[in-house]
Every structure is written in C-alpha cells, then in structure tokens.
Structure 1
Amino acid sequence: MSLSVYGITNCDTVRKARKWLEQHQITYRFHDVRVEPVASTTLSTWLQQLGADALVNKRSTSWRELTSAQQQSVKQGDNAAIVALLQQYPTLMKRPLLAQEDRYLTGFNSTAWQQFLELTP
C-alpha cells in the first residue's frame, strides 16, 4: 500500500499533515510539487476523480493572481486549461493531496484522513 503526499514544503497545512502522519507512524512519500512537477496525466486523473472545486484552491494567492479569463476557464470546467494552469502554477493546487493507490483526498482534516486511511481512533 503506497501512500504519497503532494504539496509544498513551506505550507503550514502540509506541515501539519506530515506531522500527523509521522505521529501515527505512517510511512509516506512526500512529493514537493514545486520541485517535481506533476505529470499532466496524473493531474487529469485527479481532476476526473476529485473535480475542480476539490483540486483548485480558489482562496490562494495564486488564484487571485490569475487573469479573469484563466479563472473563468476553471469555473467553466475546462479540464485541459485546469491541467495547464496547475502545471504552470503548482501552488494553485489545494494541498496537501493524499494519494493511496487510486484514491485521493485534498486538504488536511485529521478525522477525514483517519477515515481515508482506515485507522482506528
């Protein structure tokens, strides 16, 4: 059972999530999306499974810096444009993204992660 966490190193929420995993002695691979860009095929898979609202962080600085046309393409569900934007602006992704096999979860909520990883309280 392979577990990966996608995010950026200096994000407070990602730090909390990584600390939580370590406290629960869960082995994972950390993927810094700034250092290792995410493949477009992977982003497409995430987008299909999660949807744009779960994958794109519309409260981020990156979102506010997009042009209105770029924001509109996300709102209209233009998957090709969303993938291109996430590759160009990796911090636009809602983080952290937890990936296990073909299941994905964005953001950090200890209860949701506990359920996702099927841990007993």
Structure 2
Amino acid sequence: MKKVDFINYPKCTTCIKARKWLESNNVNFEARDIVLNNPTEEEIKDYLKRSGKELKKFFNTSGILYREMNLKEKLTTMSEAEMIKLLASNGKLVKRPLIVADKNVLIGFKEEEWAKFFKVGDEK
C-alpha cells in the first residue's frame, strides 16, 4: 500500500483511538488535522467517488455544529454541490477520521472494517 492519509481531529476521542490502532498495527500514515487543513471541494468530490458511499455519510452527525445548523433537515433539500461546498467550509462538519489510501476512502473508525482494509489480524 502506498501513502495513507489519516485525516482526523486530534482532540476527538475516536480519532485518538484510531491513531493508536494504526500505530499498534504498524500502518504507515501521514496525519492531517481536519480543522486546520479541512478537505477542499475537489478532495471531497474525489473522496465521494473513491468511497462508494453516499455524500450524507461524510457529515459528522454527532457534531455540535451539525446540530446547531439544523443540518438533519437542511440536507434533505440541498443539492450535492451545496453539500460539498458546505463540507469544504468547515472541517468539523466532516465525519472523522478519514482514511484516504490507494483507490479507497474509509469514513469513521470501525475496527473490523479497518482490519479488513489493512489486512491485519488475518494470520491468527
């Protein structure tokens, strides 16, 4: 596997757990703070295509900003272009962590999904 980008928010407990998982499984990665260097519209379009997931999966639905902006209701009437623009406007709106590697993007930390993706734990 080539370069792995670990896009995260360093203060997020799930991101901290994910980072420890990457380190304990010897995954070579480059960390990127999603708040200081949030994904651009072009990156989000690329991640969307590579992930195979629907765009709504990229929203941090448990975030304070998501709730304050009443996005649960607003997203139902927004176009894909509007959602992408919104995600690119603030890294705290983006579900994290993100793993960007090869032709794939993983959204959020699901240990089983990550183990399968990185092919760890199979040898037991």
Structure 1: segments with no counterpart, 5+ residues: none
TM-score normalised according to structure 1 size: 0.86
Give the gaps of 5 or more residues in structure 2. Answer: none
Measured against aligned partners, the alpha-carbon deviations of 1:62-114 in whole angstroms (never above 9, x if no partner) come to 11111x4x554523462211111112221111111111112011111211100
% identity of equivalent residues: 23
Partner of 1:53: 56
Question: Take 1:19 and 1:103, find their aligned partners in 2: how far apart are those partners?
Answer: 21
* Secondary structure at the counterpart of residue 35 of structure 2: coil
Summarize the alignment of residues 5-20 of structure 1 with structure 2, pairs less than 5 Å apart.
5-20=6-21
Structure-1 separation of matches of 2:48 and 2:83: 8
- The number of residues matched between the two structures is 119
Shift of 1:53: 3.0
* 2:36 alignment partner AA: V
CA shift in 2, pair 1:73/1:46, >3 Å: farther
Asked if 1:63 corresponds to 2:66, the answer is yes
**Within 5 Å, which residues of 2 pair with 1:67-78?**
68=70, 71-76=72-77, 78=79
Q: TM-score, normalised by structure 2?
A: 0.84
Q: What does residue 100 of structure 1 align with?
A: 101
| C-alpha RMSD of the superposition | 1.8
Distance between the aligned counterparts of 2:80 and 2:66, measured in 1? Answer: 16
